[in-house]
Amino acid sequence: MASLFEGSAVALVTPFKNGRVDTAAIERLVERQLAGGIAAIVACGTTGEPSTMTADERELTVRTVFKAVGGRVPVIAGTGTNCTQEVIDTARRYEDLGCVAQLVVTPYYNKTSQEGLYRHFMTIAENTNLPVMIYNVPSRTTIDIDPDVLARLADCEQIVALKESSYNLPLMMEKFRRVGDRLAIYSGNDDTAIPLMGLGAKGVVSVVANVLPETMSLMMRRSMTGEHEAALAIQLSLMPLIRALFVEVNPIPCKAAMEMMGLCDGEVRLPLVPMGEENRAKLRQALLDFGVQL
């Protein structure tokens, strides 16, 4: 079983400026991530707000990221939505780039059955050329993909990885038991990265890496080289900041933090709104407490 990457990948935010995708800021953010030792970049994952972007804006973002990376690390393109055909149409836009995979979130709102999930992912796999990384995030979709379904999907060579963002530990362990030898599994939550590495995960797709790429990269390297206590110490030290970065719905706090750090505008798109002042103050203090220069 080949991994798409090992270590910390960033779920890159999409910077906006005056209502438009800020391509210059994307280029700067990519360089910062690469300098921070990031192992891969996810463009237009859910943290990148693709649900509020047009198809042309999503393509512009993915192509800008891919060009800026210049082959230095793998790029994964987010294609997932609750319409199966739209996922297929989106993936086809990126097939000439050389992305290592497409990230496909479990369909939201439709709240399909487990059989519907199986058919959704299989139809995408059979009708696109990009390998599929399944993204399971029950807190945002209300659906938790079942280990039995994953086991069936793992038989498809086009389905290669799972980004797991559940907090149901026994169920996650069952997924590792059933498909851990066939799918590369990654933590989709910053606060469970090291625990999932203990189960056999290959890395993390990180929101926090937008703010602290070096720290997340170091934490994952420590884990991969068997320095468990050092990795765990970093994980535990990050917990107050992780809580602050998720005190409001992602990516609102992450973008607010990046604005405080002078990395890009904190602009988000409706229905998301700027961070409330009380939570913004808490986030600022959490950043300062961790030693971030503002």
Residues annotated as catalytic (active site), given as ranges: 135, 163
Q: Can you tell me which residue has the tokens 């992450």?
A: 254
40: left (phi over 0), alpha (psi -120 to 50) or beta: beta
State the Cα–Cα distance between residues 228 and 123, nearest whole angstrom: 40
Q: Cα 103 vs. chain centroid, distance in angstroms? A: 8
Cα–Cα distances (Å) from 70 to 25, 64, 186, 205, 285, in that order, read 16, 10, 24, 20, 36
The alpha carbon dihedral of 221, 223, 229, 234 has a sign of: positive
Read off φ and ψ for residue 158, nearest 5 degrees: -75, -20
Reported residue count of the chain is 294
What's 209's DSSP letter?
A: G
State the Cα–Cα distance between residues 193 and 191, nearest whole angstrom: 6
Cα–Cα distances (Å) from 36 to 28, 42, 62, 264, in that order, read 12, 15, 20, 17
